[in-house]
Amino acid sequence: MSDMTGKGRLTAVQGTAMYVGAVLGTGVIALPALAAEAAGPASLVAWLGLVVLSAPLAATFAALGARYPDSGGVSTYARLAFGERAAAVVGWCFYFAVPPGAAAAALFGGAYVSAALGGGTATTTVTAALLMVVVTAANAVGLRVSGTLQLALAGLLVTLLLVSVGLSLPHAHLSNLSPFAPHGWTAVGPAAALLVWSFAGWEAITHLAAEFRRPDRDLPRATAAAVAIVGVLYLLVAFATVTVLGTGAAGTRAPLGELMATGLGGGARWPAAGAAVLLTLGAMNAYYAGAAKLGAALGRDGALPASLSRGSTAGDVPRRSLAVNSAISFAALAVVVATGLGSRPLVLLTTGSFVTVYAVGVAAAVKLLPRRGGSRIAAMAALLAVIALLLMSGAYLIWPVAVAGAASLYQRLNRRRRRRAVPARRVGDRPESSVDTPSG
């Protein structure tokens, strides 16, 4: 496998951009404030802990992707390690976590545009819908356009983040770090559960592993570069949010906009809105691409309707799966807007699904990766950390549990249909049919 050359077009640089977009994503525009609200300055401990966790987690999924490049991603690894039912459950958990997550992400970006333009909920909703349209169209054209777009978005957003943080840090006050844990140290756990959203994405690019030119070489390189870039940027933004904004960090839903306004003046709402749109597009672009490929692979493997299987081969565009994912995303957006739920419950429900996917994925890695070597050690470390994240998720595991039940029910019904179809094709056959004569 080490000399394997893929049929895909993505380079290591484009893969790094996909990772940065998927992981950095919308977490940086909303989560620093939510985490500060939950734990105060102690939220920095949660940020640091998840940055440290990212290294073994990302290394584990990179090792799996390089060794088993397939559009099924974690679903494929679960099937190889634990069988078809586990593969279907993991696949469904990821596939059906993306639409509500996309709705929340699009609304995060829309809120920044609304802050710049005015117009309230209407502006936020229209912006969110437009973001979904752009990402769907980009992925419908194909991964070459998608990868190029992601590279441009990643470069722009990294530049904007560095500039905004750099200009705001002269206004930082270390006195804002005291009291460090105003809500007690136990508040770090709930903050970490929220921040899983910010670090979800290391598994997403595994669905695109076969799209790399050289998965065995390019995927680990892209992963290592992305871990360094994402870790540094998250810690910088989180530190600036707490030390520059102080207690006001907990009250803002646009922390990046506040940092830009502090560094550049009150007219920085437009740059903040532009950065938010870029970040949202980057995250949604990567997740739509990964989910579309996964849906096609699940259709190919019988875990979803076979009509979705077109596009599962490397180099092909899974337009049917993309259309389904996009339609569910629009439906989720409509429900959120109509009910006024807010984004926080959606974030926690989505992260509950991702943590479930992580748990099964790293457990599969422990079984599949070579017993000697750094990748196995990384998998063991990641498994312990993910178990802790599962405990922190608490009641928000209800969504992945419901999805897992639906996946199991679909598989059971699908097997029954297949059993009925076999005798139907053999009407008129003699009793020596293999259906009537057990073998072995």
Q: Per-residue confidence at 407, pLDDT binned at 50, 70, 90?
A: confident
Confidence at residue 129, expressed as pLDDT on a 0 to 100 scale? 93
Residue corresponding to tokens 């976590």: 97
322 contacts: CB under 8 Å, gap ≥ 6? 136, 139, 140, 288, 292, 295, 311
> What b-and-e string marks burial along 250-271, b requiring 16 or more CB atoms within 10 Å of the CB?
bebbbbbbbbbbbbbeeebbeb
Q: Per-residue confidence at 432, pLDDT binned at 50, 70, 90?
A: very low
pLDDT tens, residue by residue, 246-290? 887 776 767 777 787 777 766 667 777 887 887 788 778 877 887
> What b-and-e string marks burial along 54-88, b requiring 16 or more CB atoms within 10 Å of the CB?
bbbbbbbbbbbbbbbbbbbbbbbbbbbbbeebbbb
Residue corresponding to tokens 């790094």: 16
Q: Per-residue confidence at 440, pLDDT binned at 50, 70, 90?
A: very low
Of 43, 104, 52, 20, nearest in space to 245 by CA = 43
238 contacts: CB under 8 Å, gap ≥ 6? 32, 35, 43, 44, 47
Of the listed ranges 117-126, 341-350, 365-374, the one predicted with least confidence: 341-350
Q: Per-residue confidence at 436, pLDDT binned at 50, 70, 90?
A: very low
pLDDT tens, residue by residue, 356-400? 888 888 999 998 988 877 778 888 888 888 888 788 777 778 888
Query: Are residues 187 and 39 in contact, defined by beta-carbon separation less than 8 angstroms?
Result: yes
pLDDT at 5 over 70: no
The phi, psi pair for 377, rounded to 5°, reads: -65, -45
Instruction: Count other Cβ atoms within 10 Å, centred on residue 2.
Output: 8
Instruction: For residues 50 and 24, give the distance between their C-alpha atoms in angstroms, rounded to a whole number.
Output: 13
Tokens of 165: 């943080």
pLDDT tens, residue by residue, 194-231? 788 777 767 766 666 777 777 777 778 888 888 888 88
Helices marked H in 249-373 — which ranges?
Answer: 255-264, 269-301, 319-339, 343-368
Instruction: Share the mean pLDDT of the chain.
Output: 80
Instruction: For residues 269 and 146, give the distance between their C-alpha atoms in angstroms, rounded to a whole number.
Output: 28
34 contacts: CB under 8 Å, gap ≥ 6? 194, 344, 347
Instruction: For residues 213 and 15, give the distance between their C-alpha atoms in angstroms, rounded to a whole number.
Output: 10
Q: What is the mean pLDDT of residues 11-17?
A: 78
- What is residue 340's DSSP assignment? T
Q: Give 25 or 20, the one with higher predicted confidence.
A: 20
Instruction: Count other Cβ atoms within 10 Å, centred on residue 186.
Output: 10
The phi, psi pair for 279, rounded to 5°, reads: -60, -45
pLDDT at 147 over 70: no
Q: Per-residue confidence at 434, pLDDT binned at 50, 70, 90?
A: very low
Instruction: For residues 216 and 5, give the distance between their C-alpha atoms in angstroms, rounded to a whole number.
Output: 8
Instruction: For residues 146 and 141, give the distance between their C-alpha atoms in angstroms, rounded to a whole number.
Output: 8
107 contacts: CB under 8 Å, gap ≥ 6? 124, 125, 128, 333, 336, 343
Confidence at residue 265, expressed as pLDDT on a 0 to 100 scale? 67
Domains of the chain: 12-410 (1.20.1740.10)
Confidence at residue 65, expressed as pLDDT on a 0 to 100 scale? 80
Tokens of 11: 């380079």
pLDDT at 45 over 90: yes
